[in-house]
Structure 1
Amino acid sequence: MSSLRTLDLNVVADLVDFIRGGGYVLDFSDSTFSEFFANELDVDIDDARYADRGGSKGKRLRRFLELVDDGTALKTLQALWEIRQDFLLRTGRADPVINAEARYLAILNRLGGSPAAASPQEQPKAAFDFAKMEMLKQELLDLTALAPQRRGYAFETYLQKLFTAYNLKPREPFRNTGEQIDGSFVMGEQTYLLEAKWQQLPTGQADLLIFEGKLMSKAAWARGLFVSYNGFTPEGLHAFGSGKRTICMSGEDMWEMLNRRLPFDHVIDRKQRRAAETGIPFVGVRDLF
């Protein structure tokens, strides 16, 4: 049986019943609902075992998700999400479900669909604890009251705590010959080196080039995350150019992520994918989700 909780199944219901109401699944008719399960999952959703708690499409989906393994539940929800997004795009409707994508991504994490999962054989990781996310929001706010020198070091420690919350195996700041690295973390099969700055002015080209230079001296699979609380200058980003190993994150990104309860690992995955597709090192969270 899947590791989905009642709370998760209630979220799924919210995500799929907004078109036709409770008991329905998106805009499926009885026949297209059966076809979806047959074609996408090779499953007979009309089997009596999925209707032992009610025969509506919504109740059969809920029972199916309860009975199957995490991998099958994950595949099902990903397919349903694609159909949901296609419906919203085709109809031009705004998403009526508050914070829909963040809630969906949290369920994926619970099922082992986090970008940080190293292999399908690992035990599924728990969805992120939203109470802990609220604590992280408060701790980030508390950093603003610190003196500038203390704040820089505290910011590095804060980021380590954030990485730990997502099981990203963080390493504390370390020094190689002639250079300082503010830390690292592992996501999937990629190692990310960290540069963290909390300074009065936005980060410009010079600091970005220095960090990129550090990356270029490392293994080819090493990536970089440059977190600048006060963001980056447009001129610096333009001069820095495209096609680099570094992706960038601002303080505004962090607040947007925490306020919307977007899982950090999915944010980094989305930033990395956009950078790979466009070559642009910094795209804000508001434009990605």
Structure 2
Amino acid sequence: MAGEIKAVDLKLVGDLFGDGYVMDFTNRTYQEFFRDEVGVDIYDDAYLIDNANSKGKRLRAFMQKAQKGAIVKALNGLWEYRMAYLAGNEDSVLRSRERLSALIERLGGRPIPGTTTQTPEPSAPLRCGPAESTQVDLENEFMGLHGMDDAAQARGYAFERFLKRWFDAWGLEPRKAFKLKGEQIDGSFLHGNTVYFLEANWRNAQTGAGELRSFQELIGQHFEGARGLFVSYSGFT
């Protein structure tokens, strides 16, 4: 399955079904589900990585190791279970059906029933960005950063918040900053089914090649299939 399952796919599956607990499955019902729907024992040692025995971690290992046909069966079954699990409650994952269906189709399966492709009315103009008022607000916010004091990195943090709002305005599903093994990741966003991790740098000095290489190595080591975006206010050397 090398090269088939990307980091963005694993993230989607985790968002839909759970990273630790998987919906309301118990150990017994989880094992029965995979036995009946897929024909595998999800508690086999083949799906145990680094002694991470949670249901979500085993699902992640299964996604990385199993054959495409088995993954398609599991995803279809988990989707049906999720629909019953939500029981009419609001879906917190944007475009969940379309995104999971696209993954299933890429693995050779059929679209999830009910998945539709929306075609705009011929007479309706296509909207290619946020409303003009939103763009004006973002421009004003950006211009306001120039007057901020850079003490205690206040302007840098404000720059991160501005970028998150900018990505959100353009429908790129941004996520907040987090730390990975002591390293700060300034956020992430989704574009074209690919996850981009963000490094935002607002300093008077230009960003050097060493920082770019370090960021590239961090993304490459921990986020297979993802990409990075380094934003430097003063440019690069």
Output the TM-score relative to the length of structure 1: 0.38
Structure with more relative contact order (C-alpha pairs < 8 Å, separation 6 or more): 2
